[in-house]
Structure 1
Amino acid sequence: MKISIREITALPTLMHWRKEVIENVFGTVPSKRLLVANRQYYRKNIVNGNHVAILAGIDGMDVGCGAICLSEELPSPDNPSGKCAYLMNIYVRKEYQKQGVGHHIVSWLVERARQLGCDKIYLETTEGARSLYKNIGFNELPGIMKYADIQSSKS
């Protein structure tokens, strides 16, 4: 079994995989509004280099995906460059899980983020994938909080 990684920029392919991720990871059918927002995001951020997307394949068949959202923050002692890589959209089709594909995807994304000069590489995880990320070198970040009432604040 040979696992391969390739970058993707084609909008139809990006949208196909994003829809599959939303359906299988979030357990919901994406709304038309969300799909439009994703399409707009890709059009802007793939072109300007702020988003790197990949597909993972086994023996030539695409079985998973992953991405880096690049951003910049105020440099600090724990991120002197200010460059950030948020890994997301990491997904492997169920029948190909536990075969090293996820590890390949995340390792590739981390290496690319390092090549791009990112001093801060982070992600969100499901409970089922937590051990994968820990084995690659990610640590839990205590002290992180997320504002929960974001939808109400937009009204």
Structure 2
Amino acid sequence: MIDIRVATKNDIESMMSSRLEMLKVVNNLSEDYEFSDEMINESRDYFLNGDHITVLALDGDIVIGCASMSFIRIMPTFYHLTGKRAHLMNVYTRNEYRRQGIAQKMVELLIEKTWEKGATEISLDATELGRPLYEKIGFTDSTECMVLTKI
């Protein structure tokens, strides 16, 4: 039976291994790809000290999926009186466990916890593979946001 639960700081090694595995798969990197020390150290620091909730999907002791919600607070607006917003990231299920509703259960748990924390908006960057899941849950495309990325 698959267990889906909120991770704690004691799960740091599971969170790290799952994130690095997800990054390799999503970015088509080789199995033996070596991440920079900065990527590893900053990811570890975020899991330990960042404002987030991460959930893990486990088959026994084996991590088969993960998903994270990162929280930000901006100045309140008329539509977001608390200024609390969230960004869904790193939704990943190992290939052999896909199409079983695991990702949906992880995301729904994160959404529930996010509303409990008082956030009024959740954003995400969807891959083509993930888009049908997010639409099924109720996410819609937004036309209100522009971004500037430092290169």
| TM-score of the superposed pair, with normalisation by structure 2 | 0.87
Q: How does 1:77-96 map to 2 (within 5 A)?
A: 77-96=78-97
TM-superposed CA distance for 1:118, in Å, is 0.7
Match in the other structure for 1:5: 4
Question: Residue 3 of structure 1 contacts residue 104 of structure 1 at CA under 8 Å; is this kept in 2?
Answer: no
2:44 maps to amino acid: R
Match in the other structure for 2:39: 34
2:97 is the counterpart of 1:110: no
Runs of 4+ in 1 over 6 A off after TM superposition: none
Q: 1:129 to 1:85 in 2, by over 3 A?
A: same
TM-superposed CA distance for 1:33, in Å, is 2.0
The root-mean-square deviation of aligned C-alpha atoms, in Å, is 1.7
TM-superposed CA distance for 1:145, in Å, is 2.3
TM-superposed CA distance for 1:59, in Å, is 6.2
Q: 1:62 to 1:39 in 2, by over 3 A?
A: closer
More divergent stretch after superposition (98-107 vs 73-82)? 73-82
TM-superposed CA distance for 1:61, in Å, is 4.3
Question: Residue 15 of structure 2 contacts residue 66 of structure 2 at CA under 8 Å; is this kept in 1?
Answer: no
TM-superposed CA distance for 1:80, in Å, is 1.5
CA distance in 2 between counterparts of 1:119 and 1:40 reads 26
More divergent stretch after superposition (128-137 vs 51-60)? 51-60
Q: Which runs of 5+ in 1 are unaligned?
A: none
Instruction: Encode CA deviations 1:20-61: one digit per residue, 9 max, x unaligned.
Output: 11111122343222112212222322xxxx111110134664
TM-superposed CA distance for 1:86, in Å, is 0.9
TM-superposed CA distance for 1:135, in Å, is 0.5
Q: How does 1:4-153 map to 2 (within 5 A)?
A: 4-8=3-7, 9=9, 10-28=11-29, 29=33, 30-45=35-50, 50-58=51-59, 61-148=62-149, 150-151=150-151
TM-superposed CA distance for 1:13, in Å, is 1.7
CA distance in 2 between counterparts of 1:138 and 1:79 reads 17
Question: Residue 67 of structure 2 contacts residue 88 of structure 2 at CA under 8 Å; is this kept in 1?
Answer: yes
TM-superposed CA distance for 1:64, in Å, is 0.6
Q: Which runs of 5+ in 2 are unaligned?
A: none
1:42 maps to amino acid: F
2:5 maps to amino acid: R
TM-superposed CA distance for 1:143, in Å, is 3.2
SS in 2 for 1:128: coil
SS in 2 for 1:104: helix
